[in-house]
Amino acid sequence: MTIDLQKIGQSQKPPPLFERGAPMWNDPYIAQQMLEFHLAESHDIASRRPDTISDTVQWITRKLNLTSEHDLLDLGCGPGLYTRRFAERGVQVTGVDYSQNSIDYARNHDHHSQYVCQNYTELTLSDNSFDVIMMIYGDLCVLSPVERDHLLANIKRWLKPRGAFIFDVTTPQVHAYLENYIHWSVEPNGGFWKPSQHLVLEQGFVYPDDITMQQYTVVESDGQQTLYRNWYQDYTYETLTALLIEKEYNQHELFSDLTGKSYTNESDWIGVIAKP
């Protein structure tokens, strides 16, 4: 086995903003690992716990008076944990996710909703199609400004008159730990990234304007190296409000989460109901 130390050294330098690593969602092994994380009920790593999901669906349904007459689009729906619950309440639901593994699971467990496997930043839909569009669990935070602005413009077109865009974002304290963060581990029997033995070098990068990145350099026993990156754009109450006004979502309510808790300056999350 030969390990390219020079290549590893290069990866420790901050990359340009939102430069992506290797794709994750189309890797069959990682996709299965992610699905298992979504379905786990003991932690919030990929999806929130079932009680929180149910409380969120109940609050949104009540807040917006959703009935069988309403059409809802869930962007980044994963295995359909929210969509299925809305469908059980009679709402007409469409879920979109880039992971075929998650979409297959959603289709097998929810025969009332429509599911589409596609990158939602490349999605094409008719104008005035949905009463509600959702992006839950920080999906907006992982987009570059170009991707985010493109999607916000699309969502505004896809919403029916008086329709609502529901989403949540992280605040800067959530990713503050990534400053000067370095960690490594050996997975002798395989782990999240690979099914066989590998080394994981994990590092955090901090950029201006509340942008951070979590990077994983994965080195397999044959010396093969793969670089994975998770980018995060965090928001404060002020920066999020400014963004909504700039993108002409002039009616908006901000909360501490999407179960309706009141916003405070100590909140790790900001839940939003926004209307153009």
Dihedral (C-alpha) 156, 160, 163, 168: value to the nearest 10 degrees?
-40
Question: Does residue 121 share a domain with residue 246?
Answer: yes
User: What CATH number corresponds to the domain at position 166?
Assistant: 3.40.50.150
pLDDT in tens, 120-164: 999 999 999 999 999 999 999 999 999 999 999 999 999 999 999
- 219 near 211, Cβ under 8 Å? no
Question: Does residue 101 share a domain with residue 60?
Answer: yes
Question: In angstroms, rounded to a whole number, what is the distance separating the alpha carbons of residues 111 and 42?
Answer: 26
pLDDT in tens, 21-76: 999 888 999 999 999 999 999 999 999 999 999 999 999 999 999 999 999 999 99
Structural domain span for residue 55:
47-171+235-275
pTM of the model: 0.95
Question: Does residue 101 share a domain with residue 68?
Answer: yes
Q: How many helices (H) and strands (E) does the chain have?
A: 7, 11
Domain count, the chain: 2
Handedness of CA 265, 136, 18, 254 (dihedral sign): negative
Evaluate whether residue 23 is within a structural domain. no
Residues of the chain with pLDDT > 70: what percent? 99
Q: What average pLDDT does the chain have?
A: 95
- Residue among 83, 149, 160 at smallest CA distance from 116: 83
Angle, alpha carbons 163-168-173 (nearest 5°):
155
Q: Read off the pLDDT of each residue in 73-93 and give the average, rounded to a whole number.
A: 98
pLDDT in tens, 227-266: 999 999 999 999 999 999 999 999 999 999 999 999 999 9
Question: In angstroms, rounded to a whole number, what is the distance separating the alpha carbons of residues 18 and 230?
Answer: 9
Question: Does residue 130 share a domain with residue 104?
Answer: yes
- Starting at the earlier edge strand, list the strands of the sheet with 225-233: 182-187, 198-207, 211-220, 225-233
pLDDT at 3: 74
Question: Does residue 158 share a domain with residue 87?
Answer: yes
Question: Does residue 207 share a domain with residue 131?
Answer: no
Evaluate whether residue 33 is within a structural domain. no
Question: Does residue 244 share a domain with residue 271?
Answer: yes
- 17 near 26, Cβ under 8 Å? no
Question: Does residue 181 share a domain with residue 254?
Answer: no
